[in-house]
Structure 1
Amino acid sequence: MADFPQYFENLTGAHHFRIDQQIINLIAGNYNQYTPNGVQDLVLLLNPIPDASHTRNRKKSPPDSECFPGTREEPIGEVTAWADSSMVVYPIAIGKAPHVYWLHGFAGCGKSSISLEVAKKYAGSGRLLASYFFFRGAGERSTMNRFAATLASQLMTVIPATIPFMELSVCAEPGLLSGNVSLSAQLEGLVYKPFQAVMSGRLLEETSTKGPFIIVIDGLDECEDKRGAEEFIDHMLKFFDLHPNIPLRIFVASRVEQHIRERLETDGVLLGDLNSHWPGKDIEKFLRESFRTVARRDRVIQAYIQAHGEWPKKMDMDMLLKHIGGSFVLASTIFKFIIQSATEEDVTTPMERLPLTLELNGLDTLYTQTLARSQHLPHFHDIISTITFFTQSLPIAVIADLLGIEVFEVVRVLLNLQAIIHVPGTDEKGRVTFCHTSLRDFLTTQNRSGSFFVPPSFHLRLSYCFFSYILEKGGDVGQHFERRWELFTEVEASDITNEIEQFKARHPLHTDRLPYHAFICSAFFFSLFVDNPQTPDILKCQPRSTGKEHEYAVHVAVRALNPEPSSPHNANPGF
């Protein structure tokens, strides 16, 4: 590449004219001028997603989360130490410069808040090249369709010298922005190559002094285009392998989904486990400072403190912290619940709501409001009911297998509920648990939970799921089927009739799953023969118990032996 000239002349001897705003770049001896209209044309051509960066309106374009001042300093410090380190330090320690930092953890543990802090810090110092916050269900922001173009639009703002190289890429590959070109080609032509082309001379010297540029990618697990996410990771790692000295770092934050973990658990990627940083002290600081702030603004709270002294009292605060555990999102949700303004339906004051949150049924309103966020989604009741009835918590992937649905369908329901349900960072290993045991009590008490009530008769659904699981995948889960069937038979006959009607109305989740009437027949005869394995004559068999189960047997036999063959859920070519 040619050396920069010591000086240049432009429009020598010209007079009586005016030059409006222009962007002037001197790159490798080539002099380039761009009028504002030219830049605007390129922006229009790129058509970036306007609400994908860290500067978006978070109220309208979630996630709406940020670190409370003075909290999460330890994990943020680890990220900034990596981002600010020279390319010489890390090769000595781990053998290879880590261009990529992957921060992972369970849903709601604060990854997006830390991503925002990292983006703001390096935007302030001029080192943030671009930021992109994925969000599930947010249209194209949850895909890779305009990912490269959105990064490029931010890159050209930070380093205008990249503009001519982007234009060259678009001219050389007219379909670069049409969606007919691979994501790798888009990233190469619009982001990596333009950045690489300008990293010489004075700009490279400044970068060496200030530190490398940073790209922040948050919520990669929320990208609904898994193949696109895989292609992005593979191409990124390959690019850094080919260009180990390029002054660029990429920060990625996500849950530990398999397609991400398989690619990022490798050399050249620094791993940060947010779960290893217990946030208890940070949560306490957040709550204490937040209560002080609201007390200074709320005259009702001020009057209460003048009459009764400190609020919240130390004992109540200690109980609240124990109640919350290590969940920042639960802490924030409970705090907002306590200090919310009174309404016609709820005229209580914050001082009255605080002790309610510590009682067994004090969070019923919060549970109802939170569960309503996912109530409209497919399989909501099956997913919540399964978690409720399994005191031994299950991984997300197991819940999906058991119900015969996709993993992403379980994740989609749970992510809206992370204020009250712990959503693990990985689908295969971590386990789904309730943030507090009172949620299970709420869901199994009909006069408290209303439409969210999980009836005991749901054990029929679970026994069907285990029966189908045995037929589809085998495995030693027979004891689970037996247990769920036994629990179902303990239900009152009226409940059984209602549940069978509901069960019959459900379509099989997979076309190759056993029809409901075939399952009930099989389970019913199982209950007759289980205590008489040596007797082939059905007339000699007796039901296992008397009384209520005789009534139950009549209802089951009538429903099971009179299926409706025209019903679409009975059509199953596999049986």
Structure 2
Amino acid sequence: MQSIFSNAQNLQINGGQFTNSSRKVEISGLHNGLDILRQRSALEAVLDSKERFDPPKCDPDTRIAIIAQVMAWIRDEDPVATMMWLHGPAGAGKSALAQSIAELCQAEGLLAASFFFSRTAANRSDGRALIPTIVYQLALCLPIATTLIKQCVEKDPSILERSNETQAEKLLVEPFNSWLTFILSWISGTFIFRYTFRSQPQPRLIVIDGLDECHDPEVQCDLLRIIGGVIQRFQFPFRVLITSRPESHIVHTFEHLAVLKSVKLTRLDLRDDVNAHRDILIFLQKEFYKMRNTHPLRRFIPNPWPHPDTVMELARRSSGQFIYASTIIKYIQSPKHRPTDRLQVILGLSPPPVNDSPFAQLDALYTHVFACVEDKLSVLPIFGILIITRGEGDGLVKELTTPTRIEEVLSLQPGDVELLLDDLLSIISLDGPNEPIQLLHASIADYLLNPLRSGQLCIDIGMTHEMLARGYLNLLSHLKRTY
């Protein structure tokens, strides 16, 4: 048969595939397996992407003990893959820790891949983008698996349309567990063989930050199941660091999913960080020092400023959560305003100017947390009771904030309080029916009591006192009838 190009001149072909008789001829074009994988990856979510310009990170003089603990886990010579779940309240600084740890590992040649979820960015909130993005980075930094990953995608590009579980099996488990990978590993002296001879470190850390910001709770749990299965079968000593808030469905998955019970899992709760208050104090002191020396209006800032007691008060208001400290510093250090005046606003000694939002970042966080609550009308009275009794050290007053006692006062069924507060575990501590509920953010009270900040979520403190009084009168009346 005469060629269809027999009379063509200056012919150039880019990409595509042609069939001649029964023989298929493939023409290499612009897109090979890695190109296809790259197109399906959310590169905006990786450590040093342009979209993540100026990401939060830890001050070098803070979080020292926690970072040292995580780095020791990463560097550990255990030859099996392991997982760490770093969790803590909203605004505790989990993403800053993940960023700082990933940067340290990148500098040491230990970072293999990263994915930073964000609910406000479409590609970074899509759980379907996680596996391709991780695989693409692994293929670039670990040549021993590049060929097999590339071949898998070229053989069947539709693999990227399959489920997350299938992608993980074909693009992670099979390439890294294949006999070819082990031969190349032996030849190159990487991973298991390299540890034997104490040679240069190899990329091993996979960071998945903010899992709770993935768009769908069911997808979050499914990703944990898949990651657990991959770790269980990996023949290479990867370290998978996952950070998230302690949302109830994530906690339940870690505690009850069988596959996660069979992997080596380390849990790190930021609520247990005894140095959090000290670290926040250091952060505030350094930021105020910087303002006194670099702010455009520094000539008009007294020195010393602010008073040490004021800095201590701001650290106390932070409740161990870095988001309060970072929010107020961002507001105070504005180059177009006087820091001294703005500090007065933060302390409540001066009213904020019209259309000014000193706590905008905090307000957005709290608004999002409460947006996940189904029955807000039933939740707000509970928070009213917690706010009225906050800061009280008396044992009797503390007893008023146990789920059991609140249910009695509000005429709720046993277990109702724990059900109602199930979506708010990132801002409260709920440890059982007879343990006092604690607000993890002191500033949540200011938010809920200010209608300009919380809008329809605002709590009327007078009505809350009235409700509490009626509840106790009903309770006393019931006790009289009982006895």
Fold conserved between structures, TM > 0.5: yes
**1-side partners of 2:428 and 2:416: how far apart?**
17
Checking the alignment, whether the CA contact within 8 Å between 2:32 and 2:150 is kept in structure 1 is no
Identify if the C-alpha distance between structure 1 residues 227 and 109 changes in structure 2 by more than 3 Å, giving closer, same or farther.
same
The alignment of Structure 1 onto Structure 2 pairs a total of residues equal to 408
| Aligned pairs (5 A) from 1:427-466 | 431=437, 433=439, 435-436=441-442, 440=445, 443-444=448-449, 453-455=458-460
Which residue in 1 is equivalent to 2:384? 389
Checking the alignment, whether the CA contact within 8 Å between 2:221 and 2:253 is kept in structure 1 is yes
Matched residue type, 2:298: I
Checking the alignment, whether the CA contact within 8 Å between 2:110 and 2:205 is kept in structure 1 is yes
**2-side partners of 1:224 and 1:238: how far apart?**
22
Aligned counterpart for 1:222 among listed residues 213, 217, 226 = 213
| Aligned pairs (5 A) from 1:136-175 | 136-170=119-153, 173=156, 175=158
**1-side partners of 2:361 and 2:215: how far apart?**
26
Secondary structure of the residue that 1:67 maps to in structure 2? coil
- How far the C-alpha of 1:423 sits from its partner, in A, is 5.0
Which residue in 1 is equivalent to 2:331? 337
Which residue in 2 is equivalent to 1:195? 176
Matched residue type, 2:103: K
Checking the alignment, whether the CA contact within 8 Å between 1:126 and 1:158 is kept in structure 2 is no
Which residue in 1 is equivalent to 2:244? 254
* Structure of greater Rg: 1
Matched residue type, 2:42: I
**1-side partners of 2:34 and 2:453: how far apart?**
58
Aligned counterpart for 2:300 among listed residues 300, 303, 308 = 303
| Aligned pairs (5 A) from 1:423-572 | 423=428, 431=437, 433=439, 435-436=441-442, 440=445, 443-444=448-449, 453-455=458-460, 483=471
1:271-290 deviation line (CA, Å, top 9, x unaligned): 22222222122212211111
TM-score in terms of structure 2 length = 0.69
Matched residue type, 1:188: E
Which residue in 2 is equivalent to 1:49? 42
1:122-158 deviation line (CA, Å, top 9, x unaligned): 2223332211112235334323212211111111221
Matched residue type, 1:277: D
Checking the alignment, whether the CA contact within 8 Å between 1:434 and 1:440 is kept in structure 2 is no
Checking the alignment, whether the CA contact within 8 Å between 1:166 and 1:194 is kept in structure 2 is yes
- How far the C-alpha of 1:104 sits from its partner, in A, is 2.0
TM-score in terms of structure 1 length = 0.59
1:384-437 deviation line (CA, Å, top 9, x unaligned): 734541226689xx99966998955x57xxx7xxxxxx3559999995626337
Aligned counterpart for 1:353 among listed residues 342, 349, 353 = 342
Is residue 277 from structure 1 mapped to residue 270 from structure 2 by the alignment?
A: no
1:37-64 deviation line (CA, Å, top 9, x unaligned): 454763457510121111134657x9x4
Identify if the C-alpha distance between structure 1 residues 175 and 382 changes in structure 2 by more than 3 Å, giving closer, same or farther.
same
Checking the alignment, whether the CA contact within 8 Å between 1:387 and 1:432 is kept in structure 2 is no
Checking the alignment, whether the CA contact within 8 Å between 2:41 and 2:132 is kept in structure 1 is yes
Secondary structure of the residue that 1:145 maps to in structure 2? helix
Checking the alignment, whether the CA contact within 8 Å between 1:387 and 1:394 is kept in structure 2 is no
Checking the alignment, whether the CA contact within 8 Å between 1:444 and 1:454 is kept in structure 2 is yes
Identify if the C-alpha distance between structure 1 residues 166 and 255 changes in structure 2 by more than 3 Å, giving closer, same or farther.
same
Identify if the C-alpha distance between structure 1 residues 456 and 357 changes in structure 2 by more than 3 Å, giving closer, same or farther.
closer
Which residue in 1 is equivalent to 2:392? none
Secondary structure of the residue that 1:51 maps to in structure 2? helix
| Aligned pairs (5 A) from 1:359-378 | 359=348, 365-367=357-359, 370-371=362-363, 377=371
1:167-192 deviation line (CA, Å, top 9, x unaligned): 332355553111xx332221121123
Secondary structure of the residue that 2:128 maps to in structure 1? coil
**1-side partners of 2:316 and 2:430: how far apart?**
22
**2-side partners of 1:222 and 1:441: how far apart?**
25
Is residue 101 from structure 1 mapped to residue 84 from structure 2 by the alignment?
A: yes
Secondary structure of the residue that 2:118 maps to in structure 1? coil
- How far the C-alpha of 1:314 sits from its partner, in A, is 2.3
Identify if the C-alpha distance between structure 1 residues 426 and 58 changes in structure 2 by more than 3 Å, giving closer, same or farther.
farther
Matched residue type, 2:242: V
Structure 1 segments unaligned to the other structure (5+ residues): 1-33, 89-96, 416-421, 464-479, 488-528, 534-575
Which residue in 1 is equivalent to 2:12? none
Structure 2 segments unaligned to the other structure (5+ residues): 1-26, 387-399
Which residue in 2 is equivalent to 1:8? none
Is residue 326 from structure 1 mapped to residue 325 from structure 2 by the alignment?
A: no
Secondary structure of the residue that 1:146 maps to in structure 2? helix
C-alpha RMSD over aligned residues: 4.5
Identify if the C-alpha distance between structure 1 residues 368 and 291 changes in structure 2 by more than 3 Å, giving closer, same or farther.
closer
Secondary structure of the residue that 2:268 maps to in structure 1? strand
- How far the C-alpha of 1:330 sits from its partner, in A, is 0.9
**1-side partners of 2:155 and 2:315: how far apart?**
59
Checking the alignment, whether the CA contact within 8 Å between 2:36 and 2:153 is kept in structure 1 is no
Checking the alignment, whether the CA contact within 8 Å between 1:122 and 1:214 is kept in structure 2 is yes
Checking the alignment, whether the CA contact within 8 Å between 1:230 and 1:259 is kept in structure 2 is no
**2-side partners of 1:165 and 1:83: how far apart?**
26
**1-side partners of 2:472 and 2:335: how far apart?**
44
Checking the alignment, whether the CA contact within 8 Å between 1:107 and 1:425 is kept in structure 2 is no
- How far the C-alpha of 1:69 sits from its partner, in A, is 1.9
- How far the C-alpha of 1:247 sits from its partner, in A, is 2.7
Identify if the C-alpha distance between structure 1 residues 149 and 449 changes in structure 2 by more than 3 Å, giving closer, same or farther.
closer
Aligned counterpart for 2:117 among listed residues 134, 144, 161 = 134
Identity %: 24
Which residue in 1 is equivalent to 2:24? none
- How far the C-alpha of 1:80 sits from its partner, in A, is 0.9
Aligned counterpart for 1:118 among listed residues 91, 97, 101 = 101
